[in-house]
Structure 1
Amino acid sequence: MDISGNTVFIPGSTSGIGLALALELHARGNKVIVGGRRAELLARIAAEHPGIDTVRIDTGDAGSIAAAAAQVLADHPDLNVLVTMAGIMRTEDWHDPATFLATAEATVTTNVLGPIRLVAAFVEHLRTRPDATIMTVSSGLAFTPLKATPSYNASKAAIHMLSESVRLQLADTSVKVVELVPPSVRTALLPGQEDNEHAMPLDEFVTEAVGLIESRPDAKEIQVERVKFLRYGEARGDYDQVVAALNDTDPHGK
């Protein structure tokens, strides 16, 4: 993926990693369309950052995805990058189905069906562009589980394998599939995460991730150095120790 000159749609980018990435890509000379559920946040982003367009989208709703895709493609026929950023992360207690089932279903709907539906809505258009990218967003927790978030971990593992598989299928097209693999980052994804000293500062993550996109335009995965502890535990042979360390140091893992 080239670092500039693109038209980029990022659903799920009204806060956190998504918004920080949107602003950085905008500053790098890309046309950026921010997508999100809350109209007031979209209006604020558009007002504070002239040149960024916005569209309302709920990636947990198939109809909303279809409507937003139609709007984006009508307004931006040169769109060539889709970043499937939107996702939710919630704690669950699997001792009692009454406490976790609804959360697990919502997580899978947003984090797995959402990206699948987004790709389905845009892939035919992206194939018409001479240089296009689908950027999926998994997590270090796709490779090392956080005890408190089983469905989130599983959803991100699904995104990793989906990315690997779709990349193989689209290898005969102009569409690249790139997987962004964040570690824990100081955002509001979980309560208290913004102040978690073990999480990576947001600005540091985005700076390093965008630097990797720029320096490795053909990369299949964008891995900041900090996520490699989680990403490669099994390959290094210290998986059990990594699982223990993660769940000992993260307040949500206890």
Structure 2
Amino acid sequence: MDITHDTVFIPGATSGIGLALALRLQARGATVVIGGRRQELLDSLAAQHGFGAVRIDTADPESIREASANVIRRWPEVNAVVLMAGIMVTEDWRSPEFLATAERIVETNVLGPIRLIAAFVEHLQSRPDATIVTVSSGLASVPLRPTPTYNGSKAFIHMLSESLRLQFAGTSVRVTELVPPAVRTALMPGQEEAPNALPLDDFADEVMAILEADPEAHEVLVERVKFLRFAEVRGEYDEVVQILNASDPHAAAD
């Protein structure tokens, strides 16, 4: 990914990691188009920062089709898509009441990226240099007890990224997987102040430094996430699972 010249579409960039990366990419020279569900917020961010903006609901297949066509029509040079939008919700699978929440997570975190890739894949292959940026999580490698479907959705994104990289080999499209640790955002209640979460600016700055140093990186791994990402490789999986869940305020809750 060329952070100085690419034209990048980031659905889910009206706050948190998505917005932090959008601001940094634009500051380095990229053309940035943000997407989100709230038109007023999109308009405000576009006016304030000079972003392109397109309304999109990544849980709605028709919205994805319309928004993707709109992006390609208005910015035909778009050559990078960052699949940023996602939700994280606690569940208790010991009761069947978990099902509606699990389905909503899968719709957003699994089907959303699949549908976005389907909407852009032909266009991206027509560009001389293109990037699909998937967004998984450290929890793709080590599970957090209160969020089983989120953990599973991010494990899916990790293996999807690995598989697509094989399929796109020899084409103009590369696949880069962004793997965040816990970051101080509003993804979960209380996470913006969580002492064990990485400050958002620190995370975004480290991501940009990695992309600048290695534009063809397969995985973008900040130092903080390597504790989770390589737990099994180090032979410390069980220990890290125990540490992660002992430190989580929901881990002992029934």
TM-score class, shorter-chain normalisation, is over 0.9
- Does 25-34 or 37-46 show the bigger shift? 37-46
For the pair 1:136 / 2:134, whether they are aligned, the reply is yes
CA–CA distance in structure 2, aligned partners of residues 31 and 83 of structure 1: 13
Please report how far the alpha carbon of residue 22 of structure 1 lies from its aligned counterpart in structure 2 after TM superposition: 0.5
Q: Residue type matched to 1:72 in 2?
A: V
Please report how far the alpha carbon of residue 253 of structure 1 lies from its aligned counterpart in structure 2 after TM superposition: 2.8
Q: Residue type matched to 1:141 in 2?
A: L
Which residue is 2:55 aligned to? 56
CA–CA distance in structure 1, aligned partners of residues 250 and 86 of structure 2: 18
Which residue is 1:47 aligned to? 47
Please report how far the alpha carbon of residue 215 of structure 1 lies from its aligned counterpart in structure 2 after TM superposition: 0.3
CA contact (8 A) 1:170 1:176 kept: yes
Q: Residue type matched to 2:67 in 1?
A: A
CA–CA distance in structure 2, aligned partners of residues 4 and 171 of structure 1: 24
Which residue is 1:159 aligned to? 157
Q: Where in structure 2 are there 5+ consecutive unaligned residues?
A: none
CA contact (8 A) 1:198 1:250 kept: no
Please report how far the alpha carbon of residue 2 of structure 1 lies from its aligned counterpart in structure 2 after TM superposition: 1.6
Which residue is 2:90 aligned to? 91
Instruction: Report how many residues are paired.
Output: 252
User: Please, what is the CA RMSD of the aligned residues?
Assistant: 0.7
CA–CA distance in structure 1, aligned partners of residues 247 and 229 of structure 2: 17
Please report how far the alpha carbon of residue 152 of structure 1 lies from its aligned counterpart in structure 2 after TM superposition: 0.2
Please report how far the alpha carbon of residue 221 of structure 1 lies from its aligned counterpart in structure 2 after TM superposition: 0.2
The TM-score, its normalising length taken from structure 2, stands at: 0.98
Please report how far the alpha carbon of residue 218 of structure 1 lies from its aligned counterpart in structure 2 after TM superposition: 1.7
- Corresponding residue SS for 2:5: coil
- Corresponding residue SS for 1:97: coil
Which residue is 1:18 aligned to? 18
CA–CA distance in structure 2, aligned partners of residues 64 and 115 of structure 1: 13
Please report how far the alpha carbon of residue 250 of structure 1 lies from its aligned counterpart in structure 2 after TM superposition: 2.0
CA–CA distance in structure 1, aligned partners of residues 222 and 191 of structure 2: 19
- Corresponding residue SS for 1:71: helix
- Corresponding residue SS for 1:25: helix
CA–CA distance in structure 2, aligned partners of residues 136 and 20 of structure 1: 16
Please report how far the alpha carbon of residue 216 of structure 1 lies from its aligned counterpart in structure 2 after TM superposition: 1.1
Please report how far the alpha carbon of residue 90 of structure 1 lies from its aligned counterpart in structure 2 after TM superposition: 0.2
CA–CA distance in structure 2, aligned partners of residues 252 and 190 of structure 1: 11
Deviations 1:188-242 (A, max 9, x none): 0000000000000000000001100110112100000000000011110111110
**What is the 5 A alignment of 1:203-222?**
203-222=201-220
Q: Residue type matched to 2:9 in 1?
A: F
- Corresponding residue SS for 1:171: coil
Please report how far the alpha carbon of residue 252 of structure 1 lies from its aligned counterpart in structure 2 after TM superposition: 3.2
Which residue is 1:149 aligned to? 147
- Does 38-47 or 150-159 show the bigger shift? 38-47
CA–CA distance in structure 2, aligned partners of residues 73 and 253 of structure 1: 44
- Corresponding residue SS for 2:169: helix
Runs of 4 or more, structure 1, over 3 Å off, are none
Which residue is 2:240 aligned to? 242
Which residue is 1:77 aligned to? 76
Q: Residue type matched to 1:47 in 2?
A: A
Q: Residue type matched to 1:78 in 2?
A: E
CA contact (8 A) 1:180 1:222 kept: yes
Deviations 1:78-121 (A, max 9, x none): 000000000000000111012x1000000001000000000000
CA–CA distance in structure 2, aligned partners of residues 46 and 158 of structure 1: 32
